[in-house]
Structure 1
């Protein structure tokens, strides 16, 4: 990463002589300038105009809504009207009335068979017990169903009340006839009565008498021939029939509440006239204007306070990032006040350009806003300062642009322009962060044009704004925006030449933080693997830089390449401290499955934590399709001892791959194997180290592990030389590798 002039000077002379460049007071003054820049840039667009009027006065001009304003009084009236139009809701309660008539007839049968009870006593029992059974049946039904969720309690109470009110009164003479019934008659009556009651209560009944009038006809059409039996069945069926449709007060109230909630609020949209010129300010109008902060005498400062908070939040985000990344503060800050001033100037220029673009918009040509070269700021920040700072800034530009360019929306932010700005800003960041010549800026501008056009097309299609000419103009302006951005960046770069510097992909620095959850997991759960990964990072970074590859990517990729081992840490030798090796007691094929799984397990864990694809690729590809020869020969030996022909080949003991697709993945794979191999040597010498490195590289080369990446033989020699120089000081204990083909493949 390029260091600015202030940083270089900071290493050459004491802080006391650095003047304003490292002065905390100057730094805080710059933070205040950022707040003022954000506040006054957005103020004309978010703070509404206020009016000096009083209740009962005459308005001298039309008062329009600066944003969508809700008329609370009219909305409440609309809600009450909607609720009043909701009709009462009736629900069905299935009482299973045929069970009641079954109980009564069964009771009659049992009592009539009892010779110890006189006829008079039976009549008296029927006269008192049968009406009580009706009430008891309802009470038991309510008790059984309350709280189970089938019916709400209010509905059950309503059912009990209405059903009891409509209880049928059995004629007195019917009770005198009941003792005459025989068992055969009662059995016939039971079947008929149940069918009649079941049939009549399947319909919705709010009044039981409606169904009771049909009982006589159905009884006469039944198979009962005895007159007395028919009369009793008729009365008992009428008695058992109850209403089954009841007012559900709770559901009705819920429907009315829902109707209120679904009522469309009465609003004044942006630009609608609230008060016409010459209109008297009524109490209701005055309250509406007051609640909307449109009156001067009320001294409402909420919009100003909200804008100030938003501006402070922008500055806090920028300051927090700069401090956490070491950009400011500390003993050796990355950026001095000169760089903060440059950042302020970039923001100022970008916001001014957005403001100028907003002036070209009209109600009929809002698409002119897509011409804004909003990616200018993020390109300059990426080239001159920091990639991550540019990403953060792109979100701030997006929010501010969605406010400044908002002309027709009834909301504070216009998502169309906000989305467009964030897309072109991010496209510029990722297109320009490796720029090494000015032509790359033009290429980045073309990428901004393409992504900006695609974002506009997507938004217009999603919102179905497909009128031909506005659609063409919107896409054309978005495309022109990228080219204009590139021209402005090329033109402004000489102005910032004294602090110009191209940075590497610093996102990798963030991922290399030991406090990352995955790295902390690696350290706490598999300390041996963690130490191994750190050493591999040191080796691979130096080797990658020797051949012009991305050394930082190799280092960070090494940190994560064995993260999959955290799923089964004890199966990897570097994590086995004073414990037996579990591989000594399990089948070699199972050992192989456990070992090779760590690559795919690691990829899944990295995906779950949104680790970039380049690092996931290293974790997946660092073993390629190499063979676990140790377990292969162990399996061969077992088959030989058992006297059976091996049902497997060496290919069954290989990693699934894929092979290394990039130089970085190949270098990490070599460094991984070298680190493990060298630490297995008891008393390594320079000759042993050199021989081991060449042996590993040659083995992988002969195994065609580098066929899918662009490593050359010359580069492999440079890698070998770099690794030899880096590993001389490594003397950690490892399992000794057998010679030749019985070399045990390290489980890393």
Structure 2
């Protein structure tokens, strides 16, 4: 490849960058995905429709294509359920024992007043006692209205019921009350309060039933005086009221709940709605019309339903991708187009197997390469997206491969697709070589067989020994077919869309890659440094659950920009003077900082994937070139001039590490450079140096844009300490006062 060829290719890809990130293009692609879902499901979900009329006879049986709700029968069942609901009553505690106790206190006080005659007292009692009873009820109802404890309708019912059941105390009772002694009144108070409390603790819908029990309870009480017993009976009867009232609102609500809880009456799938030759009645016609099974008028409801289902499936993908963007996982339009293409290929495979099913048996459906989409998405895009798409593909499979007459979905094929997809994802998500795909295919065979056996046991009456063997055989063939298709399609997707899969990373780590050969030949010191950084970063990344392979390969290319000016970096200065000693420190700074930008440009020319370029661009973040900054300050001081620069001028352009992998490579890069500068390093020196580097970057806020936790930084430090103990290469040790743990100085 000539030097012009990478430039032409780079120019072509630059022109394509617009559609890869355009919002309009993204919406168009999601619309395309919706159309694909609609077209895939339409042959199976749009129901058969009938051309019939009321009063005409049918020439063939009209069979329910699926479970159909019978609205008329459902309404009838709901009304019958509402009629069976009993009236609801509310129990209201009115504390009538308190009323009679207060009334007897008043009697005791008035009876002791010698200034009032017995006749006057009787007159007072005849007016005051009925008023007290009425007012106690009125006050209670008024307080309840203010507190909103009970509905207004219930309180009105209480007032009406109590008013209708009012007891009239005989006039002779009021004549007897003044003759009661103080002891009699006190004794009546104890007995009457107890009896009222006892009677009111029961549910009383009719106060008369409770009043009928008063005489018996009073006569068996401790009251000895006949007059006391007679007065007590009448006062108790007067105080007693109903406490159980009809609640019309609650009764209506119970009827509504009964209607709502009545199950829908269905015409079961496969059931004959209208036998051949029977005249169509209005009820039959209405049933078919309500379920959109008539041709006599244009009806787009089934199409709308299918559109909404397709929209929901598309929305699921859209929302997940949008949520992933918030977590820092960005999908460009090229990746979305690839996802759509994976869906198309998988759905086409479903339909091809469906053709084999027709005229054969349902178990032919197990030949489907159900895990194809899940494996491709896992390898090419993201494991989390693969799980979401597996659920969507299982829905598609349950519709496309459905062979059950009248059913919309066949959960067996949906479950089968979901099980083998999840098994494949789990087996392949850390694939580092092509043999892993074959292992994943074997796992899909095994878990597919387990799923089939599970379905056989659940529906034993639907299977014979031969059909079970056929189903298991097709399952294994389908698993192997999935492996072959994945192996064949992977190079196509990687080449066409520039995807960085694990297998692609393995290829990029080949030393014969043009950039790595250039690095080895022109900058052998940097090449050796990059290999060591790759070893360190891979170990640290795997220790915290990050992508170790990406760290290793990214490390190989992270300093590729140094090939433009190899002599200005310390690891390439064998037996030569350091050119930074004779040039302006600001120029030195520019040369050192430029290697990150130069590396990205070189990688773009050779079409290296963006995650690799991001590591090269971000591994230094915005760290500070302290050594050259101090040198520039000293130079300005010696010249007696005011510095025309700031610390910000001596920082890398960044950006800061956006991923764990970029942050890990940056730490490993500094650790390898710093530790190799130590002479005869000890464990304590290594450990101290690593802690200083990590703490320095942490204090410098270099990890603010990635999701590394403090615990993970501790794990990284421990892992790096164990890994670098084998590195004893000689490096120049800079003076202690100019060392910065997160800066590699000239080496950069």
Q: Which residue of structure 1 lines up, in the alignment, with residue 677 of structure 2?
A: 687
Over 3 Å counting, the alpha-carbon distance change for 1:459 and 1:186 in structure 2 is farther
Shift of 1:96: 2.8
Shift of 1:689: 9.3
Unaligned runs of 5+ in 2: 506-527, 549-659, 692-713, 744-748
Q: Which residue of structure 2 lines up, in the alignment, with residue 375 of structure 1?
A: 371
Q: Distance in 1 between matches of 2:340 and 2:366?
A: 28
Q: Which residue of structure 1 lines up, in the alignment, with residue 686 of structure 2?
A: 696
Q: Distance in 2 between matches of 1:33 and 1:240?
A: 79
Kindly report which structure 2 residues correspond to 1:461-480, keeping only aligned pairs within 5 A, or say none. Answer: 465=458, 467=460, 470=463, 480=473
Kindly report which structure 2 residues correspond to 1:473-492, keeping only aligned pairs within 5 A, or say none. Answer: 480=473, 483-492=476-485
**Please, what TM-score do these two structures have when normalized by structure 2?**
0.62
Over 3 Å counting, the alpha-carbon distance change for 1:85 and 1:544 in structure 2 is farther
8 A Cα contact 2:364 2:474, kept in partner: no
8 A Cα contact 1:123 1:176, kept in partner: yes
Q: Which residue of structure 2 lines up, in the alignment, with residue 129 of structure 1?
A: 128
Match of 1:432 among 428, 446, 456: 428
Q: Distance in 1 between matches of 2:26 and 2:741?
A: 52
**Please, what TM-score do these two structures have when normalized by structure 1?**
0.62
8 A Cα contact 2:672 2:724, kept in partner: no
Kindly report which structure 2 residues correspond to 1:704-723, keeping only aligned pairs within 5 A, or say none. Answer: 716=724
Per-residue CA deviations over 1:469-525 (Å, capped at 9, x if unaligned) read 84989987776566323421454467547526595469x9xxxxxxxxxxxxxxxxx
SS at match of 1:246: strand
8 A Cα contact 2:675 2:686, kept in partner: no
Per-residue CA deviations over 1:154-184 (Å, capped at 9, x if unaligned) read 4343233212211111111221222222212
8 A Cα contact 2:668 2:720, kept in partner: no
Q: Are 2:12 and 1:11 aligned?
A: no
Q: Which residue of structure 1 lines up, in the alignment, with residue 299 of structure 2?
A: 300
Per-residue CA deviations over 1:373-420 (Å, capped at 9, x if unaligned) read 311333345556765665454333212012223444976444443233
Q: Which residue of structure 2 lines up, in the alignment, with residue 403 of structure 1?
A: 399
Q: Which residue of structure 2 lines up, in the alignment, with residue 177 of structure 1?
A: 176
Q: Which residue of structure 1 lines up, in the alignment, with residue 390 of structure 2?
A: 394
Q: Distance in 1 between matches of 2:124 and 2:310?
A: 87
Q: Pairwise CA RMSD of aligned residues?
A: 5.4
Shift of 1:118: 3.2
Q: Distance in 1 between matches of 2:451 and 2:147?
A: 53
Q: Are 2:421 and 1:417 aligned?
A: no
Over 3 Å counting, the alpha-carbon distance change for 1:57 and 1:107 in structure 2 is same
Q: Which residue of structure 1 lines up, in the alignment, with residue 105 of structure 2?
A: 106
Q: Distance in 1 between matches of 2:738 and 2:685?
A: 19
8 A Cα contact 2:379 2:429, kept in partner: yes
Q: Which residue of structure 1 lines up, in the alignment, with residue 701 of structure 2?
A: none
Range with greater deviation from structure 2 (545-554 or 62-71): 545-554
Q: Which residue of structure 2 lines up, in the alignment, with residue 265 of structure 1?
A: 264
Over 3 Å counting, the alpha-carbon distance change for 1:212 and 1:494 in structure 2 is closer
SS at match of 1:138: helix
Kindly report which structure 2 residues correspond to 1:310-325, keeping only aligned pairs within 5 A, or say none. Answer: 310-311=309-310
Match of 1:499 among 486, 489, 492: 492
SS at match of 1:254: helix
What is the aligned residue count?
570
Unaligned runs of 5+ in 1: 1-6, 509-538, 560-664, 679-683, 737-748
Q: Which residue of structure 2 lines up, in the alignment, with residue 232 of structure 1?
A: 231
SS at match of 2:227: helix
SS at match of 1:11: helix
Q: Distance in 1 between matches of 2:488 and 2:293?
A: 44
Over 3 Å counting, the alpha-carbon distance change for 1:156 and 1:452 in structure 2 is farther
SS at match of 1:549: helix
Kindly report which structure 2 residues correspond to 1:526-675, keeping only aligned pairs within 5 A, or say none. Answer: 543=532, 545-546=534-535, 549=538, 557=546
8 A Cα contact 1:346 1:380, kept in partner: no
Over 3 Å counting, the alpha-carbon distance change for 1:718 and 1:493 in structure 2 is farther
Q: Which residue of structure 2 lines up, in the alignment, with residue 281 of structure 1?
A: 280
Per-residue CA deviations over 1:230-285 (Å, capped at 9, x if unaligned) read 22122112222222332222322222112111112111122222222223223333
Over 3 Å counting, the alpha-carbon distance change for 1:136 and 1:309 in structure 2 is closer
Q: Distance in 1 between matches of 2:546 and 2:374?
A: 27
Q: Which residue of structure 2 lines up, in the alignment, with residue 648 of structure 1?
A: none
Q: Which residue of structure 1 lines up, in the alignment, with residue 165 of structure 2?
A: 166
Q: Distance in 2 between matches of 1:540 and 1:213?
A: 105
